[in-house]
Amino acid sequence: MAIVKIYIDQFLELAKDHPIIDVRSPAEYQHAHIPGAYSLPLFTDEERKMVGTAYKQESREKAIKLGLDFFGPKMRQMVEEVESLVNSYESIVYENSRLSPINSLLIYCWRGGMRSEAVARLMDLYGFKVYTLVGGYKKFRNYVLDTFKLPFQFKVLGGYTGSGKTETLKALRQKGELVIDLEDIAKHKGSAFGNIGMPAQPTQEMFENVLSCELRKILEASPEGGGLVGAWLEDESQRIGNLNIPHDLWNTMRQSPVYFLDIPFDERLTHIVREYGGLERQSIIDAIGRIREKLGGLNAKTAIRLLEEGNTIESFRILLEYYDRFYFKALHNREQLNSLLYTVECNSVTSENASQLIHHPQYETEKL
């Protein structure tokens, strides 16, 4: 077999059905990688540093020889690891109904240079069909950043805190609507309390990588790939926890129509108490401390005291009033808001609110 060098679009298309192998160092992979890629480092972090030092301070030949010293003892283990990975992939059903194992690999390193070439040659020698990414991970990152500049047509789901926007997005998806769940990708619920009970957030780079792939799926679902079929996403601050929505994408969101779920305060308060009231109390108190200055010293002190007394409802009432003021200001900070804002009156927090959204006159007009 021969190793085939392919460009990013074809690489990602093949990645839908074949394993992706990232041969960069563990630290590089941990920082960020192509979503779905399997880490099979050619060098450890220390070995990579040593090879790089030899290349800069001595010669290319010295670096290659040192790299071979590290690579040689790992060859069999790497082949067996890839063999196990490939065997774990589902077989492809052909027209004759026979099952055949996937025998192709996609391999990349940082720039598509010697690391991916070395591992590709080994896997090709063993009998795998190997594709390598021209330009490597660096080319993928360019692809990611270009994604955020595309002319997407979004429908932004707005509403005060406690409106059940996340649940509504899930209901919209179940009804066949395209949805980008920014908070799920960011692993954060978007407020000072948004990290409680959540896993660690990804790095900014990994957040962008996953978000880009989700957005590209929207393009694939659009007529002629033109992004004409918009996706729903939640109205967010540009910052979600420790992560930032890319500036170009943020600008597109701010110019998109906002469907505002108008739900009575007490209904939202009940929903918030149900969602957050059972969380670890000290974590909530710590979160209140993080917004003490904006909340006001007296309000923060009162909210904490009520929480310690077990009066979760009244404690959360103070917090919800604060977030309502905060969101009102952010909502009305848009240019041309009057032409972008569509209010959807709802009696309570329920997944059925999704039906009102997709039958809203403005949304019906957008679909034409």
Q: What is the pLDDT of residues 69-126, one digit of tens each?
A: 999 999 999 999 999 888 877 554 333 333 344 588 999 999 999 999 999 999 999 9
Q: What is the pLDDT of residues 303-348, one digit of tens each?
A: 999 999 999 999 999 999 999 999 998 888 887 778 889 999 999 9
CA distances from 129 to 87, 146, 330 (A): 14, 30, 53
Name the superfamily (CATH) of residues 4-146: Rhodanese-like domain (3.40.250.10)
Selecting among 32, 63, 78, 109, the annotated active-site residue is 109
pLDDT class of 365 with cuts at 50, 70, 90: low
3-state DSSP percent of the chain in helix, strand and coil, to 5? 55, 10, 35
| Topology alike, domains 4-146 and 151-367 | no
Domain range list for the chain: 4-146, 151-367
Q: Which CATH class is domain 151-367?
A: alpha beta
Maximum alpha-carbon separation in the chain? 73
C-alpha–C-alpha distance, residues 193 and 147, integer Å: 30
346 annotated active-site: no
Q: What is the pLDDT of residues 145-184, one digit of tens each?
A: 999 999 898 999 999 999 999 999 999 999 999 999 999 9
pLDDT at 223: 58
Instruction: Report pTM.
Output: 0.91
- Given a contact cutoff of 8 angstroms between Cβ atoms, the answer to whether 340 and 256 are in contact is yes
**Residues 6 or more apart whose Cβ sits within 8 Å of residue 316:** 269, 272, 273, 276, 277, 303
Q: Residue 275: is it exposed, middle or buried by C-beta count within 10 angstroms (0-12/13-18/19+)? A: middle
Q: What is the pLDDT of residues 284-308, one digit of tens each?
A: 999 999 999 989 999 999 999 999 9
